Amino acid sequence: MAQNANSAQETLSLKLEDQLLVRPPVLDEQSPTFTSSKKVDGVVDRVMKLEGDAVMRRNRTVIKGDVITYDPDTDIADIEGNAVLLKETTYFKGPRAKLRLDAQEGWMDTPIFELRNIGGSGEAQRVDFLPDDQIEFQKLKYTTCRPDNVDWYIKASRMDVEQDTNSAVGRNGVLHFFNVPVLYTPAFALPTNSERRSGFLSPTYGRSNRNGWDIRVPYYINIAPNRDMTLFPRYLQNRGEQIGTEFRYLDRNYAGTLTAEYLSDDKMYKKDRWAFGIKHVQNVAQGIQAYSDFSKVSDDFYVDDVGRNLSGVVNRQFNQEIGARTAIQGWTVLTRVQKFQTLQPDPTIPTVLPYEREPQINARYGKMSAQGFQWNVETDFTRFTLPNRQLFINPSRVFSDGNRAYVNTSVARPFLTPGYYFTPKVSLRSVSYDVNQFQQYSTGGNFNRN
């Protein structure tokens, strides 16, 4: 009896494993089939007819319809009325469909569809489900807009979706804006996942009294994992054609963005017009980082004419800065020269130009002592200068420039308890100015320094 008890105890004990055992995925042909309907006609292992909110599910695939007729010998399901196919991130709905469940092959008439992994949707005359998870659309309409706000779409004679290559290739595509055809292409390609790849991006468009129709069709170029470029061909009805580009790069010791726009022989302005910008960060040595942030446009009216962003925001001041940041033994030091290009589109209402920093040197130090005291020191020297253009914009005003130096030191001691906290702090600040004044007389081009 004791021996039998010991044997039972050994039988009921769990076997310990040194790692988690994961069961392999079940193949479609080995997966059970689940059905649901209001009415079932047929014989087990023979043709079965599901009527009324019919549903069949096998592994990752769900089919629905008013009536589903399933033949287990051929593994084919005929779906009549409100046919729906759900598989992972794809959705199809049409009046009639036929599908071989294991092979995932079949067709559907006049479907509406959603490719949810890329936010695409549309409708087609027919869709065929081919081997290797390939999908073939015939005479389709495709968009990435929301269904209740379809601003643009592509009509094509055919589009093939290949899951293996995560791409969709279309033939004879016509791009429409507000139901107006604007561009024909014999072939086009779309990604079906989030991986970067070269191709056209969603176009933008608009219309204004100043420019007429304004259409931009961006094209993305995936150069390398750490480099890419976007081209912005743009058509301005009243001005001409513009080309823009954005180049981004990233490496272990540097990163940046280059932007440029060029409008050749503006029909209204009668000149070439352009914009340029660069943002670059470079690790020069351990603890030392150099940077530049520079942008410039061709004229005072560029932004109002062709440089507004999609939200209509106008930026009339462009930063032109170069500098370096250093971190050494608790000190952080910023050294920079900063200027601005400030646009003056209306000479009757001049904009006061900001002071330029030529240069600015700022140093900060912070330390927490073992006794809990927080020590902070900040020093700064800046030479503020005014652009010569400011003197001619406001000839009757008196302006000042000069040097400013300051030192700000502080010590604080936080006291923290479960019920309260307070932080007494003592600070000492010293500021020194060396100021020059300028005045320009309206009768001449010279100015006096006081």
SS (H, E, C) 264-317: CCCCCCCCCEEEEEEEEEEEEECCEEEEEEEEEECCCCHHHHHCCCCCCCCCCE
Q: Is the pLDDT of residue 2 over 50?
A: no
Q: Are residues 398 and 428 in the same domain?
A: yes
Identify which has the larger pLDDT, 315 or 265.
Answer: 265
List residues bridging with 321 in a β-sheet: 293, 338
* Cα–Cα dist 42/303, whole Å: 73
Amino acid 237: pLDDT: 94
pLDDT of the residue at 117: 76
Section 230-235 average pLDDT = 96
Residue 10 belongs to some domain of the structure: no
Residue 404 has pLDDT above 90, yes or no: yes
> Given a cut of 90, is residue 166 above it in pLDDT?
no
Residue 104 has a pLDDT of 82
Q: What is the SS3 assignment for 391?
A: helix
- 111 is written with which tokens? 């479907």
Let me know if residue 170 belongs to a domain: yes
Q: Cα(335)–Cα(382) distance, rounded to whole angstroms? A: 10
3 state SS of 390 = helix
Indicate if 401 and 306 belong to the same structural domain.
no
Alpha carbon separation from 158 to 133, 169, 231, 276, 417 (Å, rounded): 17, 8, 27, 41, 71
C-alpha–C-alpha distance, residues 353 and 16, integer Å: 76
Q: Hey, what are 193's tokens?
A: 């996942």
What residue has token string 């020269």?
A: 337
Of the candidates 84, 87, 92, the one whose C-alpha atom is nearest the C-alpha of residue 68 is 84
C-alpha to C-alpha distances, 202 to 66, 120, 224, 247, 280, nearest whole angstrom: 38, 12, 22, 18, 28
Q: Which amino acid is at 362?
A: N
Q: Which amino acid is at 214?
A: D
More confident residue, 27 or 221: 221
Same domain, 356 and 411: yes
For 420, the token pair is 């309260």
* Domain match, 216 and 343 both: yes
Query: Encoding tokens for residue 346?
Result: 């209306």
User: Is the same domain home to 141 and 261?
Assistant: no
Sorting pLDDT into bands at 50, 70 and 90, what band is 262?
very high
- Of the candidate ranges 229-233, 274-278, 299-303, 366-370, the one whose mean pLDDT is the lowest: 366-370
For residue 109, give both structure tokens. Answer: 């008439």
Distance, in Å, from the CA atom of 156 to the CA atom of 172, rounded to the nearest integer, reads 5
Q: Which of 347, 381, 402 is at the close of a domain?
A: 347
Q: Which of 34-48, 57-71, 89-103, 413-427 has the lowest mean pLDDT?
A: 34-48
Residue 255 β-bridge partners:
250, 281
Measured CA to CA, the distance from residue 65 to residue 54 in angstroms comes to 5
Distance CA 222, CA 228 (A): 5
Give the pLDDT of residue 359.
96
* Whole-number pLDDT of residue 24: 58
Decide: residue 447, CB within 10 A, 0-12 exposed, 13-18 middle, 19+ buried: middle
The predicted pLDDT at position 27 comes to: 57
What pLDDT is attached to residue 400? 80
pLDDT of 448 > 50? The answer is no
Mean pLDDT, the chain, as a whole number?
85
Long-range contacts of 390-394 (CB under 8 A, 24+ apart): 390/352, 390/353, 391/438, 391/440, 391/447, 392/440, 392/445, 393/344, 393/350, 393/351, 393/352, 393/353, 394/350, 394/352
Asked if the structure places residue 203 within a domain, the reply is no
- Position 19 in a domain: no
* Confidence at 232, pLDDT banded by 50, 70, 90: very high
Gap between the Cα atoms of 283 and 324, Å rounded: 10
Instruction: Tell me the two tokens of residue 416.
Output: 């923290």
DSSP state of 13: S
Mean pLDDT for 393-404 is 74
User: Rounded mean pLDDT of 273-291?
Assistant: 96
Highest-pLDDT range among 25-39, 93-107, 204-218, 291-305: 291-305
Both 341 and 425 in a single domain?
no
For range 47-56, the mean pLDDT: 90
What is the average per-residue pLDDT within 67-94? Answer: 91
Q: Using a pLDDT cut of 70, give the percent of the chain over it.
A: 86
396 shares its domain with 416: yes
Quickly state the pLDDT bin for 13 (edges 50, 70, 90).
low
Which pLDDT score, from 0 to 100, does residue 7 have?
47
| pLDDT attached to residue 332 | 96
The residue out of 347, 378, 399 marking a domain boundary is 347
Query: With 80 as the cut, is the pLDDT of residue 369 above it?
Result: yes
Other C-beta atoms within 10 Å of 201: how many? 14
Q: Do residues 450 and 335 share a domain?
A: no
pLDDT higher for 60 or 431?
A: 431
The pTM of the whole model exceeds 0.85: no
Q: Where does a domain end: 347, 365, 393?
A: 347
pLDDT given for residue 319 in this prediction = 95
User: What CATH code is carried by the domain that includes residue 154?
Assistant: 2.60.450.10
Q: Is 280 a member of any domain?
A: yes
Question: Does residue 320 register a pLDDT over 80?
Answer: yes
On whether both 236 and 337 belong to a single domain, the answer is: yes
The pLDDT of residue 312 is 52
Task: Grade residue 23 by pLDDT with cuts at 50, 70 and 90.
Answer: low
Of the listed ranges 53-57, 186-190, 303-307, 352-356, the one predicted with least confidence: 186-190
- The reported pLDDT for the residue numbered 144 is 84
Do 149 and 56 share a structural domain?
no
Structure confidence by residue, pLDDT tens digits, 124-144: 999 999 988 889 999 999 988
Burial class of 245 by CB neighbour count within 10 A (0 to 12, 13 to 18, 19+): middle
Please give the pLDDT value at position 447: 36
Asked if residue 24 has a cis previous peptide bond (ω within 30° of 0), the answer is: no
In 3-state terms, what secondary structure has residue 11? helix
Residue 5 inside a domain? The answer is: no
Q: Calculate the alpha carbon distances from 98 to 39, 51, 135, 369, 385 in Å.
A: 20, 16, 14, 77, 78
* Model confidence at 385: pLDDT above 70: yes
The pLDDT, as a whole number, for residue 14 is 53
User: Are the beta carbons of 189 and 212 closer than 8 angstroms?
Assistant: no
Rounded to whole angstroms, the Cα distance separating 386 from 342 reads: 12
Domain hosting 137: range is: 114-195
Residue 389 neighbours by CB distance under 10 Å: 11
Asked, for residue 270, whether it belongs to a domain, the answer is: yes
Write out the two tokens for 425. Answer: 């702090």
Number of domains in the chain: 4
Instruction: Give dist(CA 342, CA 344) in Å, integer.
Output: 7
Q: Which helix (H) or strand (E) holds 210?
A: none
Q: Residues near 417 by Cβ (< 8 Å), separated by ≥ 6?
A: none
